[in-house]
Amino acid sequence: MPHARLVARPALGSRARLILIVLPVLALLGACSDDPAQGGNIDPEQVDAVEAPVLGACRLLAPEDVAQPSNATRIVDCAEEHTAQTYAVGQLPEQFDDAAHDSEKVGAWAYRTCSDAFAKFLGADESLVMRTLLTWAWFRPSVEAWDDGARWYRCDVVGGGEHSEEYLPLPEDAKGLLTGKPKDEWMVCAVGPTLAGGTRVPCSEPHEWRAVSTIKVGEPDEPYPGDRVVEVTTRDFCSESVGAILGYPVDYEFAYTWFHEAEWEAGNRRSVCWAKTPD
């Protein structure tokens, strides 16, 4: 469960107030759910499809669709309103031929694969994709199709995140959307006196918090160092990072988002730093 606390501590001669929040990685929802239900607006031909989905297809997905491991939502013309676009499809490696439908190892593999393809598709680095409203979800075949030997995966970019009640419409083609200096409408900010209780909004809307940087807390092959090490490393880095970004004001507030062992095992090695924006 998310939790937050407020701590007063000096940072490089400035007075920084810290608000801590711990949240899960959105992208893992599709990887970890064991509910075999399909999404809304179903296309019967996709429900138990053994063949891989269409690359580049657009759909009107909602958060409840993304929470499911399989999805058969109808494809729409990308020139029409849509909230999701398929940016990667393929076959799972042979090592998963005998894997269970809800295998954690399959989920971890899909997390790494979809994450890498997500950044390349949007034209962003790892740090930037963690600070955007855009997220991704992955889907696998239905239980019946899996039992029939289907082993494909599908990665979709979606116009929203874990805290979204509904997703934003995407442009006709989201490829390269974060190249250069991204528009504020695609960057993540928050409204609320604290980040823990805040509502995520696009930075183009009025906000009180902005995700401004990330910190790499480990290398791909390193074992999980423990909650305390990850938290302290994140806290200390974010204190200095946010202070530098704000020009070391006398008083400033910062927050950070860090992740636990489950997300580490799935491949995440970064925490996010947030700055309280001026009134």
Q: Which two tokens stand for residue 141?
A: 């075949």
pLDDT tens track of the chain, all 279 residues?
A: 333 323 333 333 344 555 555 544 444 434 344 443 444 589 999 999 999 999 999 999 999 999 999 999 999 999 999 999 999 999 999 999 999 999 989 998 998 899 999 999 999 998 999 999 999 999 999 999 999 999 999 999 999 887 788 899 999 999 999 999 899 999 999 998 878 778 888 999 999 999 999 999 999 899 999 999 999 999 999 999 999 998 888 788 999 999 999 888 878 899 999 999 875
Report CA dihedral (214, 83, 47, 105) to the nearest 10 degrees: 0
Taking the C-alpha atoms of 193, 197, 201 and 204 in order, what is their torsion angle to the nearest 10 degrees? 10
Could you identify the residue written with the tokens 């019967």?
Answer: 44
**If phi over 0 gives left and psi between -120 and 50 gives alpha, with beta otherwise, what is residue 266?**
alpha
Report the C-alpha gap between 26 and 159 in whole angstroms: 12
CA distance to 5, 70, 140, per residue, from 46 (Å): 46, 10, 12
Query: How high is the pLDDT of residue 4?
Result: 31
